[in-house]
C-alpha cells in the first residue's frame, strides 16, 4: 500500500508533515497538562503533589503497556477512523475530568488517557517517516517525533500557569479538549479512508500479558511514588503493592517465554548494547530529574513567581533545540553514537557541577542562564541518539521490542529518578535542618540578637510585640529550612555530576558502541 494514499491527493507534503507534527502534540497534552504545574493543579484538585505525580506515572505506565498491543489495533482499523475515534475520546476524557472530584475516578480517566496517548504515537511516526525521501528519513522522523515530546512541555506549562492565574483549573481541561477537537478536524480534512496496512484480526492480541504488565507497572509505580510518604514497609499498602508488582511482573516474563507469539520477546535482552542503551536511559532520566530541583529552588528559595519560573523554561527550550539540531547534524554526517553520547553526557556533567555553586540564598536570571541552557543542550543532544541507538542495537525482527525497552527505560528512569530525588532530598534536608538548628537555639546570644533585630523590623511595620516576635522566629526558622534545601541540592548535584563523569569514562572505554552504530548506518543508508 502506498503511504501517500492515506492522505487526500490535494494536500501538499509540507502540510502533511506540519499536521502530523501537530497531532503528535496530542500525546504531550495528555501526559503533561495536569503536571505542568503540580502545586497549582494539586490545590485545585484538592490532592497532594505526590498524587499528581502518581497520576502522571499512571498515564505514562499505561502508555508503556499499551504500545505492546498498539500495532494490532492500528492494522485492524483504517487510519482515518482510528485517529478520529482516539482524538474524540481524548476530548471526552478531558471534559469528564472537569466534573470529576473523586481522585480514584480521576486515576481511571488518567489510565484511559494513557491508552489514548499510546495508540497514535507509533503510527504517526511511521506516517511521518514516509513523508521524507531523504536517506536520513529515519533520523528526521525520529527527531521531529521526539522534539514534540521535549519541546511541548514549556509551552504547556506556560499556558497552564496563565490559565490557572487568570481563570480556573477547568479552563485548562477545556482548552486541552479543544486541542483534541482540532486534531479531529485536521484528520477529517486531510485523511481519506484508505488503509495503511493490510487488515489483521484482533483475536491474537495477548490481553493476559497486557493485564499482567499493566498491573505490575501500576503497583511498582505506587511503591516508588508513595513509599517515603507512607514510611515504606511500615505500610501494608506499600508492602502489598511491591508483592503484587513482583508477582505479576514475574508471571508476565514467564508468559513471554512460553507463548508462541510473545508481546515482548525476552531474547531481545541477549544483546549487550540494548542493555547498555537501557542503562543509559535510566541514568539519563535520573539526571534529568534534577531540573525540577532547580524549579523548586526558584519558587521556594528565590521566591520567583510561578509565571516567571514558567517563562524561564524557554531558555531550556532553546537549549533543547540547539542540542537536537546538533545531534541530527552529527548523526546525518555519520558521527559515531559513542562520540555523541560522550559530548552529551559531558555537557550534562558540566551543568550539574556548575549549578552546584548556584544554590545560594539569592540568584539572578543572569547567574543561572548559561548552565540552565546547557541542561537543555545536553538533553537535546542525547535524547534522539539514545532512542536510535537502542532500536538499532538488535536485528530487524527485534526492533519493535527494542523500542518498547527504550520506552520502559524512559518510564522507569523518570519514576525512579523522582523517587531517588524525593527520598534523598527528604533525608538530607532533615540532617541539615537538625544540624543548622543547633546554631539558632533561643539561648544563643547571636540568635537572640538576630531575633531582636527582625522583631524590631516587624514592629516598625505595625505589628505588636508578640506577633512581631513570633514572625521573627518563624522567619529565622524559614531561613534555616531554605539553607538546608540549598545544601541538600548542592550535594545531590555533586553526586550526580560525578556519576555522569563516570559514565563518560565508561563510554570512552566501551568497545561495543561503534559496532552498533555500524549496524544502524547500514540500515538507514544501506551501505
Q: How far is CA 201 from the centre of its chain?
A: 33
**99 pLDDT higher than 60:** yes
The reply to whether 230 and 278 lie within a common domain is no
The reply to whether 281 and 257 lie within a common domain is no
The values of phi and psi at residue 451, to 5°, are -65, -40
Helix, coil or strand: residue 120 = coil
Give the structural domain span for 231.
207-262
User: Is 447 contained in some domain?
Assistant: no
Which one of 241, 262, 283 terminates a domain? 262
Q: Indicate the number of domains in the chain.
A: 3
Q: How far is CA 13 from CA 134, 140, 356, in A?
A: 14, 15, 47
Q: Quick check: 502 and 320 in contact, CB under 8 A?
A: no
pLDDT value of position 1: 39
User: Is 469 contained in some domain?
Assistant: no
User: Is 450 contained in some domain?
Assistant: no
pTM: 0.81
The reply to whether 36 and 124 lie within a common domain is yes
pLDDT value of position 490: 92
Average pLDDT of 370-386? 90
**For the segment 478-514, what is each residue's pLDDT rounded down to a tens digit?**
777 888 888 999 999 999 999 999 989 888 887 655 5
The reply to whether 111 and 165 lie within a common domain is yes
User: Is 179 contained in some domain?
Assistant: yes
User: Is 470 contained in some domain?
Assistant: no
**44 pLDDT higher than 70:** no
**For the segment 395-450, what is each residue's pLDDT rounded down to a tens digit?**
777 777 887 888 888 888 888 888 888 888 888 888 887 877 776 666 566 666 66
Rounded to the nearest 5 percent, the helix, strand and coil shares of the chain are 80, 0, 20
User: Is 474 contained in some domain?
Assistant: no
The reply to whether 380 and 433 lie within a common domain is yes
The reply to whether 423 and 295 lie within a common domain is yes
The reply to whether 271 and 254 lie within a common domain is no
The reply to whether 221 and 312 lie within a common domain is no
Chain position carrying cell 498524587: 51
The reply to whether 90 and 136 lie within a common domain is yes
User: Is 41 contained in some domain?
Assistant: yes
User: Is 332 contained in some domain?
Assistant: yes
The reply to whether 188 and 275 lie within a common domain is no
CATH code for the domain of 394: 1.20.1250.20
**For the segment 250-270, what is each residue's pLDDT rounded down to a tens digit?**
999 999 888 888 888 888 888
pLDDT value of position 41: 58
The reply to whether 305 and 217 lie within a common domain is no
The reply to whether 290 and 386 lie within a common domain is yes
Chain position carrying cell 491508552: 115
Residues 6+ away with beta carbon under 8 Å from 174: 94, 95, 98
**3 pLDDT higher than 60:** no
Amino acid at each position: 500500500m502506498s503511504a501517500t494514499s492515506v492522505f487526500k491527493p490535494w494536500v501538499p507534503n509540507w502540510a502533511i508533515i506540519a499536521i502530523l507534527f501537530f497531532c503528535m502534540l496530542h500525546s504531550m497534552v495528555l501526559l503533561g497538562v495536569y503536571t505542568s504545574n503540580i502545586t497549582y493543579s494539586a490545590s485545585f484538585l484538592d490532592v497532594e503533589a505526590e498524587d499528581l505525580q502518581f497520576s502522571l506515572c499512571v498515564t505514562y505506565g499505561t502508555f508503556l503497556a499499551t504500545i505492546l498491543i498498539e500495532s494490532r489495533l492500528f492494522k485492524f482499523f483504517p487510519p482515518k477512523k482510528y485517529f478520529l475515534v482516539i482524538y474524540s475520546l481524548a476530548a471526552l476524557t478531558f471534559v469528564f475530568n472537569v466534573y470529576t472530584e473523586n481522585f480514584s475516578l480521576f486515576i481511571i480517566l488518567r489510565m484511559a488517557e494513557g491508552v489514548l496517548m499510546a495508540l497514535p504515537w507509533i503510527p504517526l511516526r511511521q506516517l511521518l517517516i514516509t513523508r521524507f525521501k531523504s536517506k536520513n528519513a529515519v533520523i528526521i522522523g525520529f527527531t521531529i517525533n521526539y522534539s514534540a515530546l521535549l519541546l511541548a512541555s514549556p509551552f504547556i506549562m506556560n499556558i497552564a500557569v496563565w490559565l490557572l492565574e487568570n481563570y480556573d483549573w477547568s479552563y485548562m481541561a477545556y482548552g486541552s479538549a479543544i486541542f483534541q477537537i482540532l486534531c479531529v478536524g485536521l484528520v477529517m480534512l486531510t485523511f481519506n479512508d484508505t488503509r495503511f496496512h493490510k487488515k489483521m484480526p484482533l483475536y491474537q492480541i495477548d490481553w493476559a500479558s497486557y493485564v499482567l504488565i499493566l498491573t505490575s507497572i501500576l503497583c511498582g509505580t505506587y511503591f516508588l511514588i508513595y513509599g517515603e510518604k507512607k514510611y515504606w514497609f511500615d505500610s501494608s499498602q506499600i508492602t502489598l503493592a511491591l508483592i503484587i508488582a513482583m508477582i505479576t511482573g514475574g508471571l508476565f516474563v514467564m508468559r513471554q517465554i512460553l507463548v508462541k507469539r510473545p508481546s515482548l520477546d525476552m531474547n531481545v535482552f541477549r544483546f549487550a548494547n540494548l542493555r547498555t542503551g537501557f542503562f543509559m536511559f535510566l541514568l539519563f532520566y535520573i539526571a534529568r530529574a534534577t531540573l525540577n530541583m532547580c524549579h523548586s529552588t526558584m519558587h521556594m528559595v528565590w521566591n520567583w513567581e510561578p509565571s516567571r519560573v514558567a517563562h524561564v523554561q524557554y531558555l531550556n527550550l532553546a537549549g533543547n533545540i540547539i542540542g537536537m539540531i546538533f545531534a541530527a547534524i552529527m548523526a546525518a554526517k555519520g558521527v559515531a553514537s559513542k562520540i555523541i553520547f560522550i559530548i552529551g553526557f559531558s555537557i550534562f556533567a558540566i551543568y550539574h557541577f556548575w549549578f552546584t555553586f548556584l544554590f545560594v540564598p539569592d540568584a539572578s536570571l543572569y547567574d543561572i542562564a548559561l548552565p540552565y541552557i546547557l541542561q537543555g543542550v545536553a538533553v537535546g543532544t542525547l535524547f534522539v541518539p539514545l532512542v536510535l541507538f537502542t532500536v538499532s542495537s538488535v536485528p530487524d525482527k527485534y526492533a519493535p521490542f527494542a523500542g518498547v525497552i527504550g520506552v520502559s527505560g524512559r518510564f522507569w528512569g523518570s519514576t525512579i529518578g523522582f523517587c531517588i530525588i524525593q527520598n534523598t532530598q527528604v533525608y538530607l534536608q532533615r540532617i541539615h535542618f537538625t544540624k543548622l538548628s543547633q546554631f539558632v537555639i533561643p539561648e544563643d546570644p547571636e540568635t537572640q540578637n538576630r531575633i531582636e533585630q527582625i522583631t524590631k523590623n516587624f514592629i516598625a511595620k505595625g505589628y505588636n510585640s508578640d506577633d512581631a516576635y513570633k514572625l521573627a522566629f518563624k522567619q529565622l526558622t524559614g531561613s534555616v529550612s531554605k539553607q538546608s534545601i540549598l545544601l541538600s541540592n548542592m550535594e545531590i548535584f555533586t553526586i550526580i555530576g560525578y556519576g555522569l563523569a563516570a559514565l563518560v569514562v565508561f563510554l570512552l572505554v566501551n568497545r561495543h558502541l561503534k559496532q552498533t552504530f555500524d549496524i544502524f548506518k547500514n540500515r538507514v543508508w544501506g551501505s
